[in-house]
A and B are shown apart, each in its own frame.
Chain A
Amino acid sequence: MNGLFTELPVLLIVIPLAGVPVLYFTARRGLGTALPALAVILFVVILLSSGARDAMHTPVVTAAGGWQPDLGIGLQFDLLAVAAMLVTSLIVAQAILSHDETSGAQHFRTLLMLLYAGSNGLMLTQDLFNAYVFIEITSIASYALVAGKQDRGGFESAFKYVVMGSFAGLLVLWGIAGLYLTTGTLDIQSLASRFEAAPGAVASLSAAAVIAGLLIKLGQVPFHAWKADSLSGASYTVSALLSGVTTTAFFVLLLRVLSALPSLTVSLAPILTTIAGLSIITGHLMALRQPRYSRLLAYSSVAHVGYGLLAVSSGAVTAIAAGLFHILVHAIMKSGLFFLGRSFLHTGNRSDRLEAIVFPEQHRTLHVTLYVLLAMSMIGIPPVLGFTSKWYAVLETARAGYDTGAALIALGGAVALVYYLRVGLQLVHRGLPELSSPGPASKRLPVPIAGTALILLLAAFSDRLLGFCVLAVVQLMETV
């Protein structure tokens, strides 16, 4: 292993972080920020893929600054991080490409880089306190992004997001402090052995607080209520980022925490599965009657993260892998649906109320096709990737002994069918009154096309992708 790759995990965070001031001070607007931002992502992806081969054999663990874990900061570059970061990089790149060249573009891309750095950190970190720092970096970037729309709705959404996010941060910080107090370590790997060696009420309560904080971030019932409000006030691009990038990053962190606390995970399994089940039910049922496109998608996210959580809390390796796989696929398809939502704006319509949204006349067939494929994937209709990931989730959850949960996942698709059909029928509706000032034709079509093409193409390799996720989970379990 050569020198570059031992420092690789640090670079994955430092490069986007360095991009933040560079982007802010050097470029003013337009492609001036888009190209450097894309270059950063490209560089990260190249690093990821070149390091992936090493990670395949043994995870690259970096002690940043030479300080050994326990005292110093550990970063873990393993298959889990590779898989998740490839997906989030893809979504961030899509977000950059799809953003309009308006006056806010410079701020947007700067914040986006901050979010990217923070989420990469979340997925790599092996140190609990650093995890907290990255949670805050990611959150602050997200708050600002949500408020970026600069209207009443945007500010309200951002405010709610800040309140709930701060509460989550507080819980996580409190939990980390408690864990440090009782086990004397912040390193996730050494936490595993010390937590088992010194079980106690304080340690367990602290760990539960960390998990509760992460559940808030993931938007699981009863911590879910902020999600729709926050996503509906943000622009579609930001919503795509929040439901794609941050959700994936927090899910990966949750996986790392849970895998480090096997005994607690077992004792929490009943309540975690209940939370997941409630999230699936609430998410789908609430989505049924939402008046707005973005709120509908937000509630559907609650349900889909519930699938992942359910599979993970069942405890079996293959089930956890299936859950992870579904979360990654969900990130791609959900962000695709949000990106597709941008095309409504080009009809000159500022509202996303379901009775008002409609695809623009230009490239109408293409838009409809994209929507149909993405919706099929969300519902779980073959032959798209969403079907296979959901199929594995149902299969592995049932094999792990959670029949009811598996049935819930399966039934969720039937409910989802109803609301995606409803939206689809609205989108192709032609009877809406002519808008006074239709916007310019959509120039951003390639963005949802890319995501859709992926869910189609990758479906053929579902077995291998799941195999990769299984490897990642096995590696995660072994390291701990």
Chain B
Amino acid sequence: MSGITAALAQTVNTPYTEPGAVFVSQAILLFGLLALAFVALHTKRSTLWWVGAVVHVGAGALLPYTANMAGFFVIWELVTVGAAIVLVCEPDADGLLRRYLPWQLLAAALLLSGFALQFAESGSIALPAAGVTAGRVLIGIAVAIKAALMPLHLWMVETYVRVRPGTAVILSAVATKIGVFGVYRLLPGSITLEILGGIIATVAVLYALRQNRLRPFLAFHIISQVGYMIAGVGSAAAVAQIAGLYHLGNPIAYKGLLFMVVALMVPMTGTSNIYSTRGMGRRSFVLTVAAIAGALSISGVPPFNGYISKSLLQSSLVSPVAVHLLTIAGIGTALSFTKFLWHGFLRPGPLPQAHDVQEGLIVKTGTRTITAVLSLLCLLMGLYPRSFFAELPVSTGITGQSFLSGLTWPIAGAALFFILYGPILRVLLVTLPGSNTVVSLLRSAGTRGLQLMQRQHSGDIRRYLGWAVGGTLLLWTWVVLAP
């Protein structure tokens, strides 16, 4: 026990202040605070909810500073505790916790076990550990759960669509990001991680394209962005890691922004169906600007921040496969957000019945101010990237040439929406199994396996005796044949 106390004290006394970690921490803190301010202006929440949200954001901002395994584990779990407290305050607390907690507990158990193995091997709790393979695998699964990598993403999709909109804003700012930071801090860079990131970015975009409801749509885009980050921070190339870290900061800004837009849109339009939202462009100028800024950022359109990190990633990754995958993901993202902007904001046609009057939410200017601030941030992070993260290469920035080349793929994606979206959607609906289907297939395979195992233990003593005889024969064979 005293060892753990000493380890925690070390974290407090000599924090880990590598520039990448500091940047991630500041990004989480800044956007976390903006998100908290947004919720404060948006709706009324209980004191307990606020405690949970502050713990969640605070622990998330603290995590990058941890210097050793003990500190990392404790603060990592504090993030979970904060989220759990927030979820307890939600209307459907039971269902939410049932979906959220088992996965998080599993991640905690795996992380702790992985640390134990690494500690056993190296005798030190310093991070990053030069550890054994088994330990890395366990840690890998743990951070994959936390970062909601497919197919371990269900907890996130199922949680985010069930919470109230403001809560989704808070959770989206922290939870998956610390998983990505875990990949950066705990696992060594490799081509495998680059390709894995590319695959996740692409597959998640395909799933996002299939969605017709706003929040699952955004949730899958979070997963896709996490794929970009994994490709970057999981790379062995130093520049790619820096790009990955910058990309870790960017989506907190534009995903937070998009979640806020959605949180404000749903009560205004009275629906969360993408195809039924209409006319936002004519009803709220600020919201429209915010939505466009968010969509351009996530699609990697210059001069917004998404462009900086995505283009740097594309140029610095080691594996060409990962680069191509990210290009496809980029086109898909642009296509997907064109759909979002077109249906929600730009499409002409009669306005749906107004709902904002009853809700009385969006009349507050504060929330709109925050969305405006975030939109501006997305732009500034694109225009002056090195002021935000000094580690970025000197050449980073937007020139006339890069501006034009940066536009190519997003425009291709946007064009695809108007020309081919119908056929693409049909193909996706037919070929892509529902993400629930994949999981339920896995689940039923597991259940069948367990049932088979159970049927073998039928209670028939002759069979049991047969096993024992077989086992004995096996031992004997081994003894005779072994050197």
Contacts and interface: CB of A to CB of B under 8 A. Distances in A.
Given A212-B472, A225-B457, A271-B478, A413 B132 contact: no
Contacts of B135: 398, 403, 407
Contact of A212 (B120, B132, B471): B471
A406 B120 contact: yes
B473 to A, nearest CB: 9
B453 interface: yes
Interface in A450-475: 460
Contact of A282 (B453, B465, B475, B479): B453
Given A285-B450, A407-B134, A395 B105 contact: no
B459 interface: yes
B461 A163 contact: yes
B475 A268 contact: yes
B450 A271 contact: no
B374 to A, nearest CB: 38
Interface stretch (B46-54, B108-116, B227-235, B376-384): B108-116
Given A228-B457, A399-B120, A399-B121, A413 B109 contact: yes
A225 B464 contact: yes
Interface in A381-421: 383, 391, 394-399, 403-404, 406-407, 410-411, 413-414, 417-418, 421
Contacts of B114: 410
A164 B468 contact: yes
B133 A411 contact: no
B464 to A, nearest CB: 4
A160 interface: yes
A114 interface: no
Nearest to B450: A289
B132 A417 contact: no
Interface residues of B, number: 44
B471 to A, nearest CB: 4
B445 to A, nearest CB: 13
A391 B116 contact: yes
Interface string A281-307: 010011011000000000000000000
B120 A396 contact: yes
B475 A208 contact: yes
Interface string B433-462: 000000000000000001101100101010
Nearest to A406: B117
A410 B116 contact: yes
B129 to A, nearest CB: 12
Interface in A110-146: none
B371 to A, nearest CB: 41
A223 B479 contact: no
A411 B471 CA distance: 25
Contacts of A398: 116-117, 120-121, 132, 134-135
Classify the secondary structure of A's interface with B: helix
B412 interface: no
Interface string A361-399: 000000000000000000000010000000100111111
B464 A226 contact: yes
Nearest to B107: A414
Contacts, number: 140
Contacts of B420: none
A304 to B, nearest CB: 16
A229 interface: yes
A275 B472 CA distance: 12
B468 A160 contact: no
Contacts of B128: none
B12 interface: no
A197 interface: no
A205 B134 contact: no
A86 interface: no
Interface in B362-393: none
B465 A394 contact: no
A268 B479 contact: yes
Contacts of B479: 201, 204-205, 207-208, 264, 267-268
B464 A164 contact: yes
A215 B471 contact: yes
B350 interface: no
Contacts of B116: 391, 394-395, 398, 406, 410
B348 interface: no
B106 interface: yes
A410 B464 contact: no
B482 A410 contact: no
B321 interface: no
Contacts of A439: none
A440 interface: no
Given A201-B480, A226-B464, A267-B482, A410 B138 contact: yes
A171 B138 CA distance: 40
A417 B105 contact: yes
Nearest to A408: B134
A167 B475 contact: no
B94 to A, nearest CB: 11
Contact of A222 (B109, B119, B471): B471
B430 to A, nearest CB: 35
A225 B463 contact: yes
A209 interface: yes
B102 interface: yes
A222 to B, nearest CB: 4
Contacts of B119: 395
A223 B120 contact: no
A208 B477 CA distance: 10
A216 interface: yes
Interface string A154-171: 000001100110011001
B454 A286 contact: yes
B475 A222 contact: no
A418 B471 CA distance: 30
B320 interface: no
B418 interface: no
B474 interface: yes
Interface string B188-212: 0000000000000000000000000
A380 to B, nearest CB: 8
A211 interface: yes
A10 B475 CA distance: 35
A270 B474 CA distance: 12
B105 A171 contact: no
Contact of A414 (B109, B450, B467, B472): B109
B40 interface: no
Contacts of A228: 457
A201 B482 CA distance: 11
A97 to B, nearest CB: 32
Interface in B96-144: 102, 105-106, 109-110, 112-114, 116-117, 119-121, 132-135, 137-138
B4 to A, nearest CB: 9
B400 interface: no
A403 B138 CA distance: 11
A407 B120 contact: no
Contacts of B472: 171, 208-209, 212
Contact of A163 (B102, B465, B478): B465
B475 A271 contact: yes
Interface in A220-237: 221-223, 225-226, 228-229
Contact of B113 (A168, A286, A407): A407
Given A267-B483, A398-B120, A413-B109, 16 more contacts: A163-B461, A208-B472, A221-B471, A228-B457, A271-B474, A275-B471, A383-B1, A394-B117, A403-B133, A406-B120, A407-B113, A407-B134, A411-B109, A411-B113, A414-B109, A417-B109
12 contacts: A168-B468, A201-B480, A222-B471, A223-B467, A226-B464, A289-B454, A383-B1, A394-B117, A407-B113, A410-B110, A414-B109, A414-B110
4 interchain residue pairs of minimum CB distance: A410-B113, A398-B120, A403-B134, A225-B464
Interface of A: 159-160, 163-164, 167-168, 171, 201, 204-205, 207-209, 211-212, 215-216, 221-223, 225-226, 228-229, 264, 267-268, 270-271, 275, 282, 285-286, 288-289, 383, 391, 394-399, 403-404, 406-407, 410-411, 413-414, 417-418, 421, 460
